[in-house]
Structure 1
């Protein structure tokens, strides 16, 4: 039991610290569970036309609560924040590219040294 009531059921175990104070990265299996939870949550958001689950938090919580719980249980909170921000950034990037293509912009070849 924690100071402010019981802890979340099925909460992920906290990352283990190393001798130098760093943390051990999640293994392949834990990362796969995280990505599965993320994909299910984002699929629910897509189904409900929600792009930014932070700004539209109430709507996302109402419509995708089960998926959100699994996503947050299987991923570190920093990963959850990162994936949510990345989703919005990628959407904005895709919309900008579509707009530019609609205005007649074309791809240019970038030469590598």
Structure 2
């Protein structure tokens, strides 16, 4: 069984190569994974679910077909990564909104480097 498979989602694992490494997914396999991820995340959005790990029962109930397709198209490690990244991105977005509401101003990347460099020179 390969990394990306449409069969049993709980048993997807990387396929070993002759030299003991693992065969990387090709472009079409990655595309299928991303499409499965996007469909699952859209379902989560429609059902107001941010963390599909902590709210696994709710996610399973609301998005079972999408979750199955996502898990079947992606390596298990990718599924875990994407689920965690979704939560991280949501928390980051919420933090940015909170800072903006408190009046925080974004740094200009051109001047931020020189400010950091000037501070480091004085040490």
Q: Which bin holds the TM-score, normalised by the shorter protein?
A: 0.7 to 0.9
TM-score (norm: length of structure 1): 0.86
Whether 1:10 and 2:2 are equivalent positions in the alignment is: no
Q: What's the CA shift string for 1:27-83, capped at 9, x where partnerless?
A: 000000000100000000000000000000000000000000000000000000000
**Unpaired runs of 5+ in structure 2?**
1-5, 115-123
Which residue matches 1:63? 62
TM-score (norm: length of structure 2): 0.79
Which residue matches 1:94? 93
Write the distance in 2 (CA, Å) between the matches of 1:88 and 1:61: 17
Write the distance in 1 (CA, Å) between the matches of 2:82 and 2:13: 19
Task: Looking at secondary structure, tell me which structure has more helix per residue.
Answer: 2
Which residue matches 2:74? 75
Q: 1:97 to 1:81 in 2, by over 3 A?
A: same
Tell me which stretches of 4 or more aligned residues in structure 1 moved more than 6 Å: none
**Unpaired runs of 5+ in structure 1?**
1-8
Query: When the two structures are aligned, how many residues end up with a matched partner?
Result: 105
Write the distance in 2 (CA, Å) between the matches of 1:16 and 1:69: 20
Q: Relative contact order (alpha carbons < 8 A, sep ≥ 6): 1 or 2 greater?
A: 2
Write the distance in 2 (CA, Å) between the matches of 1:77 and 1:83: 10
Question: More deviation in 44-53 or 11-20?
Answer: 11-20
Equivalent residues of 2:51, 2:86 under 8 A apart: yes
Higher-Rg member (1/2): 2
